[in-house]
Every structure is written in C-alpha cells, then in structure tokens.
C-alpha cells in the first residue's frame, strides 16, 4: 500500500500499523504481556482498573506513528544482529548489548516524549527494574538479541501507564473512576490520528 505525494512514494498508515503489530508478535511479545506490566503499576492507584483497560491503553499507544516507527527500527536491528547481518563493529555492540551503548534506550525514550513527564519517569523506572516480559527479554539466553526490544516494550508500557494516570484524573474530576467505565469507553480520542494521549 503506497500513495504518491510530491513525486515520492508515501507508505499508508495502515501498512505501518500492521507492520508494527507484526514486529511485536514475531518477537514473541503480546499486547496482553505489556498490559500486565501496566496493570501491575497502575492498579494500586486506580480503583476498579481492569486488565482490559490496560489492553485498550496499550493498543492505543500502538496506534501512534512515533511508537510504530521506533518499533520498526529497533526490532529490525535486533533481528539483523541475530542473523549476524550488521557490519562490524555495530554487530558486536548490538549482539552483546554493550554497556555504554545507549541508542536503544534513546529510541525508547524518544517514543515516550509524546506522553509527557509521567511517561518519562515511568520509562526510567522500567529501565532499571525490568519487570514481567521486559525481564524475560533481558535475561533470555541463547541466540536471541533483544537489545532494542526491552527498551521498546518499556516505552510502550510507560506510555500506556501515563495514559491511564491522566485518564484517572479526568474521571476523578467527573466524580468517577475506572470502576464506572467499560474498557472501550476509556479512549474516546483513540480515532483522532496523531493527537491522542
Ligand atoms: Mg536495551
């Protein structure tokens, strides 16, 4: 799927969205696994929060181009490193997740900026205390390379978590909470392309 604009081919958003979802799936990370991290972080502060609210929030974050592009770049580099296809010395640096290599963190951090300061601090928290599937990715032995993926998953979880925190305040101001709303009602803004938080 591609259209032409100013003589250049433009990839359709649907194709990018699909590719981003495929990338996660291919690397064995489910939306549910990311939602579990969000639930664990947000449940103590949000009465009535259900895992379904968290799944909806993760799905919404995955609609963002900023996140989709980060996923495509990071997953591609992990996969190329896994196949030994990067050039030297980048191959060795990504393959071994070299301690001073921080480009993976920067891609994850860049993608959370849209969701504000809570997302940034939550990303920092997840980067240090790798929980759930992030821990699994970080410790997976063998030929797998997850140098970029652990940061991308932290980034998605941090954004989804920030959305819930902001939504909770909006609900509070209406005298409501997550206990009062069905998961599909948590993101009335989801279809406003590129502007929802
Ligand atoms: Mg990393």
Query: For residues 56-73, b (16+ Cβ closer than 10 Å) or e, as one string?
Result: bbbbbbbbbebbbebbbb
Q: How far is the CA of 61 from the centre of ligand 1 (A)?
A: 20
- Per-residue pLDDT tens for 120-136? 999 999 999 999 999 99
Contact yes or no for 11/1 (Cβ under 8 A):
yes
Locus of tokens 């504000």? 116
The pLDDT > 70 percentage for the chain reads 92
Domain ranges, ordered by start, for the chain: 15-185
Q: How far is the CA of 103 from the centre of ligand 1 (A)?
A: 8
Q: How far is the CA of 177 from the centre of ligand 1 (A)?
A: 35
Give the pLDDT score at 9: 87
Q: Does 1.10.3760.10 match the CATH number of domain 15-185? A: yes
What is the model's pTM? 0.90
Give the pLDDT score at 174: 94
Q: How far is the CA of 126 from the centre of ligand 1 (A)?
A: 11
The region that residue 154 occupies, defined by phi over 0 for left and psi between -120 and 50 for alpha, beta otherwise, is alpha
- Per-residue pLDDT tens for 1-20? 567 788 888 999 999 999 99
Give the pLDDT score at 187: 52
The rounded distance, in Å, linking the Cα atoms of 109 and 121 is 10
Average pLDDT by consecutive 10-residue portion of the chain (197 residues)?
A: 79 96 97 98 94 97 97 98 97 94 97 95 95 88 90 98 95 94 62 39
Q: How far is the CA of 84 from the centre of ligand 1 (A)?
A: 18
């Amino acid at each position: 799927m591609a259209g032409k604009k100013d003589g250049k081919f433009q990839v359709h958003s649907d194709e990018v969205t699909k590719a981003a979802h495929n990338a996660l799936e291919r690397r064995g990370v489910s939306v549910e696994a990311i939602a579990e991290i969000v639930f664990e972080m947000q449940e103590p502060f949000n009465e009535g929060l259900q895992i379904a609210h968290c799944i909806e929030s993760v799905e919404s974050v995955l609609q963002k181009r900023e996140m989709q592009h980060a996923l495509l770049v990071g997953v591609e580099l992990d996969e190329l490193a896994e196949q030994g296809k990067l050039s030297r010395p980048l191959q060795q640096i990504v393959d071994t997740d070299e301690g001073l290599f921080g480009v993976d963190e920067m891609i994850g951090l860049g993608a959370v900026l849209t969701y504000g300061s809570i997302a940034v601090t939550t990303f920092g928290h997840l980067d240090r205390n790798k929980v759930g599937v992030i821990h699994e990715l970080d410790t997976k032995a063998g030929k797998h390379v997850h140098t970029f993926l652990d940061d991308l998953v932290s980034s998605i979880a941090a954004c989804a978590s920030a959305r819930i925190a902001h939504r909770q305040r909006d609900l509070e101001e209406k005298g409501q909470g997550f206990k009062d709303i069905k998961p599909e009602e948590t993101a009335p803004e989801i279809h406003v392309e590129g502007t929802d938080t």
